[in-house]
């Protein structure tokens, strides 16, 4: 059954926003702004900015506001940098004395008020910390604005770096030339209320892990303007494999993702300095999910790989690239890794539809190859733990946790665990969700939260949340030898 988005179903409410920095989406506030609350009261999602990449779902409204804008075209027509602002450069050794004096006695210096950027004001006044960066003091309209030119990280700061495939891709494929995209409706319909590039109706596992770790949503590496990497960054690419040959030319393979990570390490060393960057890398958690596309590729393409390699040799190549990536991250300072093995890949709707006769059976060859992969991954991680000093890992047994739920869906709050919410054909296993790929006709369920699978190969937000909870705080029989919570606290 085809259906319209909930935003259209719910009495046709629409919110359009015009204005200046009081309501713009680069929020000049410590939190939400007036339109955010208005949207909440009207039972609407957060209204996205008009210029946000891939924001094409306007049925709930859109935000056109721009910081500094006026009703007159002449207002703020020049760039901010051209304003007549007087800047005072304070030497590093003068920060404590000069900044504290200005903050403590603003009126003596002819100032009306003092406002601080972030926690800097509190740090200087209450803690009198020694900052290893210059401070710019901009004086305009009787107000001092203190802006740090480089930031010191909080004491217990733990970043999250993400590598992988469509289970983790938060939007990188939006910015490459590929058909492996999910930047169209109904992807993203339940949580974000617009497509973000995530292959689900809402959030993915890394989004929940970031939430549990008190981090913001980790942004895609290729997202324009994303240069704030101190919280981490997401390199994952839908369709990617550990092998460069998997979907070659249409994805960001694991080796390329690693090269992006190395670029980020250089930028962070320049921004933070070698010592602080080293601390960030060693405390960070590296979340990796890769291999499913490598395992499925021999069965979904005209591959002749098993004519020249045994299945064990093929799996060995996949695992070898994964362990090589871990070793390279380790060389850059990484010590804490979160991984998952592969589920019963032959039982996803997109593989069951390939079984002749549509008997309900799984594509057993794919599942058996996934089992070989899982055994080899466990062995490889155990060997790394012996060889690499300080190496810690959390491996989630997604094969067991997902099979438990697909075999007992009602026990875990699902009504359907064989048929996808979105797609066409038997089990909705034909990859037509959204209707812009090869097959344009598709069906869409009324409530994704009742389904385990959202499309032919990916899960619903509800399913991902349950897996994320197990990865975060699961016991050693399902996530071990550490869980992610323990790694973030280590």
pLDDT over 70 (residue 121): no
* Tokens coding 252: 């960001």
Query: What's the average model confidence in pLDDT over 381-390?
Result: 98
Query: What's the average model confidence in pLDDT over 214-229?
Result: 93
Confidence grade of residue 16 (pLDDT, cut at 50, 70, 90): low
Q: Which one is the CATH code of 160-410+460-489: 3.30.70, 3.30.1130, 2.60.40, 3.40.50? A: 3.40.50
Residues 247/257, Cβ–Cβ less than 8 Å: no
pLDDT over 50 (residue 189): yes
Sign, CA torsion 61/64/67/73:
negative
Query: What's the average model confidence in pLDDT over 188-198?
Result: 97
What's the rounded Cα separation, in Å, for the pair 337 and 4? 41
Query: What's the average model confidence in pLDDT over 245-255?
Result: 97
pLDDT: is 358 or 468 the higher one? 468
pLDDT over 50 (residue 9): no
How many of the other CB atoms lie within 10 Å of CB of 146?
A: 20
CA 37 to chain centre: 25
Provide DSSP, 329-369. Answer: HHHTT--EEEEE----GGGSHHHHTTSTT--S---HHHHHH
Domain extent listing, the chain: 160-410+460-489
pLDDT in the model for residue 150 = 45
pLDDT in the model for residue 38 = 84
What residues pair up with 161 in beta bridges, in sequence order? Answer: 233, 286
pLDDT in the model for residue 60 = 72
Confidence grade of residue 235 (pLDDT, cut at 50, 70, 90): very high
Q: How many CA atoms within 13 Å lie on the side-chain side of 367?
A: 19
Q: Which of 52-61, 102-111, 322-331 is least confident?
A: 102-111
Find the distance separating the first CA and the last CA of the chain, reported in whole Å. 49
pLDDT in the model for residue 54 = 59
Longest CA–CA separation in the chain, Å: 86
| Helix, strand, coil shares, percent, the chain, to 5 | 40, 15, 50
Q: Which of 22-26, 43-47, 184-188, 314-318 is least confident?
A: 22-26
pLDDT over 70 percentage in the chain: 76
166, 170, 237, 424: which is the annotated catalytic residue? Answer: 166
pLDDT over 90 percentage in the chain: 66
What's the rounded Cα separation, in Å, for the pair 201 and 189? 5
Q: Which of 19-33, 190-204, 476-490 is least confident?
A: 19-33
Residues 124/96, Cβ–Cβ less than 8 Å: yes
Query: What's the average model confidence in pLDDT over 309-332?
Result: 98
pLDDT in the model for residue 55 = 57
Query: What's the average model confidence in pLDDT over 84-111?
Result: 48
pLDDT: is 239 or 98 the higher one? 239
| pLDDT, the chain, mean | 84
**Is 458 marked active-site?**
yes
Nearest to 293 by CA among 355, 354, 361, 342: 342
pLDDT in the model for residue 132 = 33
Residues 148/133, Cβ–Cβ less than 8 Å: yes
165, 402, 455, 456: which is the annotated catalytic residue? Answer: 455
pLDDT over 80 (residue 86): no
pLDDT in the model for residue 119 = 47
Residues 457/421, Cβ–Cβ less than 8 Å: no
Confidence grade of residue 139 (pLDDT, cut at 50, 70, 90): very low
The pLDDT tens digits of the residues spanning 421-438 come to 999 999 999 999 999 999
pLDDT in the model for residue 66 = 83
pLDDT: is 4 or 321 the higher one? 321
- Give Cβ neighbours of residue 194 (< 8 Å, ≥ 6 apart): 45, 48, 54, 55, 56, 57, 185, 188
């Amino acid at each position: 059954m085809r259906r319209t988005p909930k935003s259209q179903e719910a009495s046709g409410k629409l919110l359009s926003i015009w204005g200046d920095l009081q309501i713009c989406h680069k929020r000049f506030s410590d939190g939400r702004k007036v339109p955010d609350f208005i949207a909440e009261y009207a039972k609407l999602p957060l209204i996205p900015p008009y210029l946000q990449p891939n924001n094409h779902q306007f049925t709930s409204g859109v935000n056109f506001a721009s910081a500094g804008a006026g009703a007159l075209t002449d207002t703020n027509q020049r760039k901010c940098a051209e304003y007549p602002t007087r800047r005072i450069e304070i030497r590093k050794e003068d920060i404590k004395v000069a900044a504290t004096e200005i903050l403590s006695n603003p009126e003596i210096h002819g100032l009306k008020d003092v406002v601080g950027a972030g926690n800097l004001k509190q740090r200087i006044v209450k803690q009198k910390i020694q900052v290893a960066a210059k401070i710019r003091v901009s004086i305009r309209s009787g107000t001092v604005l203190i802006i740090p030119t480089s930031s010191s990280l909080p004491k217990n700061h733990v970043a999250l770096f993400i590598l992988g495939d469509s289970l983790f891709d938060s939007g990188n494929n939006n910015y490459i030339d590929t058909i492996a995209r999910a930047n169209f409706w109904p992807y993203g319909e339940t949580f974000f209320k617009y497509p973000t590039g995530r292959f689900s109706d809402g959030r993915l596992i890394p989004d929940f892990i970031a939430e549990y770790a008190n981090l913001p949503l980790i942004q895609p590496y290729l997202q324009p303007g994303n240069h704030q990497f101190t919280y981490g960054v997401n390199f994952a690419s839908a369709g990617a494999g550990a092998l460069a040959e998997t979907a070659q030319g249409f994805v960001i393979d694991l080796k390329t993702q690693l090269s992006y990570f190395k670029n980020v390490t250089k930028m962070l060393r320049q921004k933070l300095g070698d010592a602080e960057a080293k601390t960030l890398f060693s405390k960070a958690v590296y979340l990796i999910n890769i291999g499913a596309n490598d395992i499925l590729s021999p069965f979904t393409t005209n591959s002749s790989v098993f004519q020249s390699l045994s299945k064990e040799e093929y799996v060995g190549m996949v695992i070898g690239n994964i362990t090589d990536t871990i070793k390279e991250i380790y060389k850059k300072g990484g010590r804490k890794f979160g991984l998952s093995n592969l589920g019963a890949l032959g039982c996803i709707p997109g593989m069951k539809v390939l079984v002749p006769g549509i008997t309900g059976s799984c594509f057993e060859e794919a599942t058996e190859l996934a089992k070989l992969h899982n055994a080899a991954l466990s062995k490889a991680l155990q060997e790394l733990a012996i060889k690499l000093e300080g190496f810690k890992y959390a491996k989630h047994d997604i094969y067991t946790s997902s099979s438990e739920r697909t075999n007992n869906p009602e026990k875990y709050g699902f009504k359907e665990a064989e048929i996808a919410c979105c797609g066409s054909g038997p089990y909705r296993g034909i990859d037509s969700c959204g209707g812009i790929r090869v097959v344009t006709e598709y069906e869409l369920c009324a409530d994704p939260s009742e389904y385990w699978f959202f499309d032919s190969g990916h899960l619903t937000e509800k399913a991902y949340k349950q897996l994320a909870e197990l990865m975060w705080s699961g016991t050693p029989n399902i996530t071990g030898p550490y869980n992610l919570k323990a790694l973030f606290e280590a």
